[in-house]
Structure 1
Amino acid sequence: MERRPEPPYESGDPQEAALYAVVAERLKQAHARVRALNVSEETRVALVRRLLAVTESAKRDLPAAARRLGRIVAELDAGRLPPPPGR
């Protein structure tokens, strides 16, 4: 059976655990922001998928996931939303 790496919050590294907590809180906030947006369902789904991809990538590369989440949040702050699929 293949052994998966430990999640950062179990690694014993306090810096990594702190980053994990920050990313988790920022993801929670980003999901709340996306739910509150007045956008089409297609746009909302596209944004949620991007956030879920960050969640998944955090399991493998936490610093990269934090940077990716930062870019998504910056786009939300600037009002840049993804176009609906098919456009």
Structure 2
Amino acid sequence: MERDGQLELYDRLAARLKEAHSRVRSPHIPQSARVPLTRRLLVITAASKHDLAGAERRLERLMADIDEGRFSAAAGDVRMDGTP
């Protein structure tokens, strides 16, 4: 039974990762924020190979940041409108 739960979690996480990648490529995301967001997604993707539940929590935080317009850039925080 636990295996079935893991498969469901894997499927849900895979769908959310796909959605997150699409959102990061969105024209609404400032160019200065795309690289850091992409790096975060790559880290989450790598973590998902070892810790599905932890990766899902990290992805939820990332998606919340995107939804709320909080982007982390190398030069500091950037909002959806591109202002620091």
TM-score tier after normalising by the smaller chain length: 0.7 to 0.9
The number of equivalent residue pairs is 74
Partner SS for 2:71: coil
**Normalising to structure 1: TM-score of the pair?**
0.79
Question: If you compute each CA radius of gyration, which structure gives the higher value, 1 or 2?
Answer: 1
Quick one: distance in 2 between partners of 1:38 and 1:60? 29
CA deviation digits over 1:30-66, x for unaligned, max 9?
A: 10001013412x4101101100100000011110000
Give me the CA root mean square deviation: 1.4
Matches within 5 A, 1:4-43: 13-36=3-26, 37-40=28-31, 42-43=32-33
**Normalising to structure 2: TM-score of the pair?**
0.81
CA deviation digits over 1:57-84, x for unaligned, max 9?
A: 00111100000000000111111111x3
Runs (4+) of structure 1 exceeding 6 A deviation are: none
1:68 has 2:43 as partner: no
Q: Which runs of 5+ in 2 are unaligned?
A: 77-84
